[in-house]
Structure 1
Amino acid sequence: MKTFALSLLTLWITFACRAQNVSFNQGGTTATHYYEEIPYEVVGTKMFIYVTIGGVRHKFLFDTGAPTQISSSLAAETGATDLSRTPIGDGTGKRDTLRIVSVKNIQLGQVTFQDIPAIGYLPDIFPCWDAEGAVGSNMLRNSIVQILPERHVIILTDDAGRLLLKKRNGIPLNTALDQQSSPFIQLIFKGTKRVFVYLGFDTGGDDFITMPGVLLNQIFPYKVCTIADRGIGSHLYSEFGLGKPDSTYRVLIPSLTLADVEFDNTTAEVLKVGMARIGARLLSYGSVTLDFIHHKFYFDPTRDKVDMTLPFWPVSPIIQNDQLFAGVVWGKMKDLIKPGEQIVAFGDVPTERTPLCAWLVHNPLDSVAGTVVVKIKGADGVVRDVSMTKE
């Protein structure tokens, strides 16, 4: 049985190999003086590029919050060799063993990377995107990567002089916090004191900001955030199963700063496990440059102040066996809907059968605002109407 959360489609592999005895920081490119403009496609908040392996183009997720990944079939087809089998933790805290392989050659544009370590396995969600792998931070660690959302282009180079970089938009970039060179940056949360918070920049992450409970406990005394909502259930999916239902929170961060850009009224999900991260939604507000070579992060904003006020549904759904269920239930809605109850209709949209891939293509929750009536099937099989509002 496989369970996926629709409120958090960040890949479970994001948590892979943190604190594991394996380094993904091996291999690389011998190219010099290179400059490549690589177009990318967007599906939801996910970014996809095409790589070439063995002379054949393959669609890969672009994910700075994870190591490089490759499907087991493509690994076998292209002759990837085993490096090790290692214990791995998923987003629910459950554990298994996964294969780590070395991919002999991966080409981005005209730049070839050799002997790149990769997770030799993909979650079942990848076929929904026709993707066969992911380009991760370990593969990019000796390059400069500029993401230009207005053009849907990723620039890959080793020469900062070929990019337009404004010094005032730059902050330090730390890639030494894990074994895959994940890019971490400092944000400033403002409360009774200015609190400096490290977050990973994760293009595979759907939300603007998510944080683990341990971070919330550290920063809460400084009044940089307030509890905006309380929920019960599970909003983490896993290839190994659903996380145990538990209490969770949404917090409101009144003011935070990234490279002199102010973000007001940011709502963040609090997770039981995982890293604090800022996701691909940052690209809605400007371009990003990851200068892995000189350890600098640049954010070139479209404006200097952003109001992040957003409405949320009081239920975060999950899909299990092609059926839609209540994952996390928030606020007063906890008195009307229980976690795990089936959602058989959302307004005028029947959801009794909801294949995951179809939901990814068209999620009715994204296109509906205000108040909607959902049909809920209880454990006794009785269907009832419940009105809920996005606010």
Structure 2
Amino acid sequence: MSCLQSRGVSAFSCCGFIAGRRAIRAGGITIGLAALSSALGASALTGAALASDVASAESPALAEGPELAAVLARPVAVEHPAPTTVIPFERHRHMLVIEAQANGVAREFVFDTGSPSMIARELADELGLRPVGSNTGRDANGAQVTMDFALLDRLEIGGVVFRQVPVLIFDFADIELGPCVFDGGVIGSEILPGSAWRIDAQAGEMTIGAPGAMPPADGAAVVAPLHPAGYPHPPISDYRIGAFSDRLLFDTGSGEAVVLYDKAAADPAVRGAIVPGSHVRGHGSHGVSAGGMGAPAPLERFTLDDFALGGRAIGPVRATTRVVPPSLIGTGLLDSYIVTLDYPGQKLVLEPRTDPAPARDEAGYSLAIAGGLVQVTQVFEGSPAARAGLRSGDRIVAIDGARLPEIGPANRCETMRWLAAEARPETVERLTVLREGEEIALSLADQ
């Protein structure tokens, strides 16, 4: 699961363990990180990086290891009531939100192909879920997080039933804005095998297909392989940039179109594919994940004129970077394509949309609520914000003259929604920051 911030206000990014970045040790079986490393390919750059992490990751014994190891070793059972089932979804910022029933209790869940499934602790307690093990893994920023494992007897999505689903139990209240974003939790990648998943953001619909039920792709579609992997069965495919090739994860927890692992981004072939004049550098956090806010780091954005999936060019594409593997494609591609993850057919299909969404604006900075404050979490060089003097880490006390309140549990969700709806960075003209006890008004409109 990626925690990369969406452009502009990043009140919260989908949080949790990055898919596969955990080593679950049970009965002599190492599951998850090793599976993703294998799927990425031992000779691939990102696969090799993950394989290195397998050797160094902490792998605590599970309380009931053999039971859980057996569950994780087999695919989740799925029952299709019809060849295809269509369900609606909503986009909350970049996240896809669907309704599902966990053991008969209806809740909203974030649909995140880059994460294992996670149940909110409050819901787990309501359902009486019994932990069958625990695991220490790394979140999308690389921070260590420990969660309990449990088995969900029945997960129902639009009439499609998944049985004996392994879920991680997580208290989203541990993250400042978690209760504002997550209701039931996260539906992740372990339920994907056994079905084809067609995600159409233009229609706001997701189609879940039984094996062989999806129509064949037409000639305009991009078709790339899906590589089988063990738990949590992440959707891994191939990409190429010039002479550089590797594997990546399709991650609906990321709002970007393309996110390159920084060691992949440093390859000379990749640097040579960057459109002149499109490259901007910045500094800041990649956002919030299960372990909290990521540490500040160098940031990059650029346009690639040569980017191919499964040997088929889809460039030019806007890309950014991350400090942990693997590389990703995210929901930014849904602005231009209908994406199908056909697990039975072992293929990733991108159909061009008839009405692509307009290109997104890049404000050159991001804001987030952290520690009861609205803070600047990213600033890119050369942007109006940077020219106005905005710095990563600045505390914001007013936006276009509107004073920000003290933020606490009673108003944090309301403030988050206001920031997302009324204070989008690409529309803001003036920010007032507090530095060393002094308020400084910065005019972005004059830059």
Corresponding residue number in structure 2 for 1:275 = 326
- What is the match of residue 376 of structure 1? 433
Matched, 1:200 2:249: yes
Once the two structures are overlaid, the 10-residue window that deviates more, 290-299 or 54-63, is 54-63
* Contact residue 324 and residue 353 of structure 1 kept, 8 A: no
Q: Is the 8 A contact 1:105 1:112 kept in 2?
A: yes
Mapped to 2, the partners of 1:241 and 1:157 lie a distance apart of 36
In structure 1, the gaps of 5 or more residues are: none
**Contact in 2 for aligned 1:372/1:387 (Cα 8 Å):** yes
CA distance in 1, matches of 2:289, 2:182: 20
**What does residue 223 of structure 1 align with?**
272
2:154 — aligned with what? 105
Give the alignment partner of residue 199 of structure 2, picking from 147, 153, 161. 147
Find the counterpart in structure 1 of residue 76 from structure 2.
Answer: 28
Separation in structure 2 between the aligned mates of residue 312 and residue 267 of structure 1, nearest angstrom: 11
Q: Taking structure 1 as reference, are residues 142 and 389 closer, same or farther at Cα in structure 2, changes over 3 Å only?
A: farther
Offset at 1:70? 0.7
Deviation of 1:209 after TM superposition, in Å, equals 1.9
Which residue of structure 2 aligns with residue 82 of structure 1?
131
Following TM superposition, by how much is the alpha carbon of 1:139 offset from its aligned partner in structure 2, in angstroms? 0.9
Q: Rate the CA distance shift 1:244–1:358 in 2: closer, same or farther, 3 A.
A: same
8 Å contact from structure 2 (residues 236, 249) kept in 1: yes
Provide closer, same or farther for how the CA distance between residues 228 and 123 of structure 1 changes in structure 2, counting only shifts above 3 A. Answer: farther
Cα distance in 1 for partners of 2:123, 2:215 equals 34
Change (3 A) 1:231 1:120: same
Unmatched 5+ residue regions in structure 2? 25-30, 33-71
1:384/1:368 CA distance change after superposition, 3 Å = same
Structure 1 pair 103/254, CA: closer, same or farther in 2 (3 Å)? same
- 1:95-138 deviation digits (Å, cap 9, x = unpaired): 13111211111112222211111111153444324521221111
Provide the rounded CA distance (Å) in 1 between the counterparts of 2:135 and 2:89. Answer: 32
2:300 paired with 1:249: yes
CA distance in 1, matches of 2:327, 2:4: 20
Give, in angstroms, the shift of residue 351 of structure 1: 3.2
Superposed CA RMSD: 3.2
TM-score, normalised to structure 2, is 0.75
For residues 57-86 of structure 1, the C-alpha deviation after alignment (integer angstroms, 9 at most, x for no partner) is 121111111111111122232233323211
**What letter is aligned with 1:67?**
P
Corresponding residue for residue 392 of structure 2: 339
Instruction: Check conservation: 2:117, 2:166, Cα contact below 8 A.
Output: yes
Shift of 1:274: 4.3
| Amino acid paired to 2:438 | V
Residues 257/390 of structure 1: CA separation in 2 closer, same or farther (3 Å cut): farther
How far apart are 1:222 and its partner, in Å? 5.4
Q: Contact 2:99/2:107 (CA < 8 Å) preserved in 1?
A: yes
Matches within 5 A, 1:228-243: 228-243=279-294
Q: Structure 1 CA distance, aligned partners of 2:328 and 2:244?
A: 16
Residue matched to 1:186? 238
Classify the secondary structure of the residue corresponding to 2:125: helix
Contact preservation (8 Å) 2:301, 2:321: yes
C-alpha separation in 2, matches of 1:164 and 1:360 = 42
